[in-house]
Structure 1
């Protein structure tokens, strides 16, 4: 009977050892799977940041091109401002001349009326 109890105990301990070993192996496999997933995620994020870096570099080049083009527009806008100022001055001169011509016409009509 003592032999039977020893065999049952040995069997139970063997079963416990096997089950604990399986549990630890499963836990380690789960941890390894999580580490593999984390590594793949890190690789993917690194690739995304590389792509974003390329996009940022492209945008920087585009912004520099737009800045250089806008410099040309600034020159054109300055020229347009000068032309607008000249047109305003010309309109003022035309207005003065128009008033002067109107006064002259009035004087000529008045002289025609007197001489007629």
Structure 2
């Protein structure tokens, strides 16, 4: 009987130990299940945050691309406008050269008129000393007035 009692105690202890191990295994499995669930939730949250950031960046990139597309259109329009202005200004070069040539001729003509004015003044003084007659002096004065009128007309015609 002592063997029976010993065998029963052994089987009771074994059953008890088995139950304890099973409880601990269940607790361990439940803890591991909670751990994996928590890690899974954390990873899902991180991935959702990353996805949200990526979607935001995509929207921002689309907005910036749309804005720069408008700038590209403006730049293209400006380059076409500049080319048109260049072609138009090329047509004015001939007129500018003609105006410069006319200005040079007027300057030379003014110099000639100035020389003639000095010459007429000298002739007038010589004639006034030689001729006493007022009619000759009057004639010289008329000639001088004509030259002054010509000088006046050409001085203002270049403007």
Question: 1:3 and 1:84 mapped to 2: Cα distance?
Answer: 116
Match of 1:55 among 66, 74, 79: 74
Question: 1:69 and 1:31 mapped to 2: Cα distance?
Answer: 56
Q: Which runs of 5+ in 2 are unaligned?
A: 1-19, 133-159
- The answer for the alignment partner of 1:16 in structure 2 is 35
Q: Deviations over 1:84-106 (max 9, x none)?
A: 10110110110111011011101
Match of 1:84 among 83, 87, 103: 103
TM-score, normalising length: structure 1: 0.85
Q: Which runs of 5+ in 1 are unaligned?
A: none
Tell whether 2:70 aligns with 1:28.
no
TM-score, normalising length: structure 2: 0.64
Deviates more, 1:19-28 or 1:66-75: 66-75
- RMSD (CA atoms): 1.7
- The answer for the alignment partner of 1:5 in structure 2 is 24
